[in-house]
């Protein structure tokens, strides 16, 4: 089985601060159920974590820029790692992800290359 990273892009950067408690609780329950179902199938490598929308970008010349200057739709908001036999199977897993409760979000599906 291969590992695939789901990279979550976009979303509302203020959601955690502005979402009603019951909405947040319901969404977190959906995430827990989704990850538990993946774990039971042996498909969960890492649940990952959400990422703060702000941050810094460092280039090879030492130039530091503010990530928040990018458009929100392009910002990475979190990640998960799943196990699948093919990218097609990983895509099918991604289609069930609770991240899509926000229709503005996109998911990159990237195979993790093992360093041997």
Predicted confidence at residue 51, as pLDDT, reads 86
E strand or H helix that includes residue 105? none
Contacts of 78 (CB under 8 A, 6+ apart): 8, 48, 49, 50, 51, 99
- Per-residue pLDDT, averaged over 52-73, amounts to 81
Predicted confidence at residue 74, as pLDDT, reads 72
Predicted confidence at residue 71, as pLDDT, reads 63
- Per-residue pLDDT, averaged over 88-99, amounts to 96
User: Contact 76/48 with Cβ under 8 angstroms?
Assistant: no
Predicted confidence at residue 70, as pLDDT, reads 59
- 9-22 pLDDT, tens digit each: 988 878 888 889 99
Residue 44 or residue 52, greater confidence = 44
Q: Domain boundaries in the chain?
A: 2-111
Choose which CATH entry (3.30.70.1060, 3.30.360.10, 3.30.470.20, 3.30.43.10) describes domain 2-111: 3.30.70.1060
Give the pairing of strands 106-111 and 76-84.
unpaired
Can you tell me which residue has the tokens 């929308």?
53
Residues of the chain above pLDDT 70, percent: 95
Predicted confidence at residue 103, as pLDDT, reads 87
Residue 17 or residue 70, greater confidence = 17
Q: Please state which of the ranges 41-45, 78-82, 99-103 shows the lowest mean pLDDT.
A: 99-103
């Amino acid at each position: 089985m291969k590992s695939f990273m789901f990279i979550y892009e976009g979303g509302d950067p203020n959601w955690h601060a502005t979402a009603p408690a019951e909405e947040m609780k319901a969404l977190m329950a959906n995430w827990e159920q989704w990850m538990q179902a993946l774990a039971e199938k042996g498909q969960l490598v890492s649940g990952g974590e959400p990422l703060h929308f702000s941050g810094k970008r460092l280039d090879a010349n030492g130039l530091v820029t503010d990530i928040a200057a990018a458009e929100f739709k392009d910002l990475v908001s979190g990640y998960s790692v799943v196990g699948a036999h093919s990218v097609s199977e990983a895509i099918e897993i991604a289609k069930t992800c609770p991240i899509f409760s926000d229709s503005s979000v996109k998911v990159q599906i990237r195979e993790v290359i093992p360093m041997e």
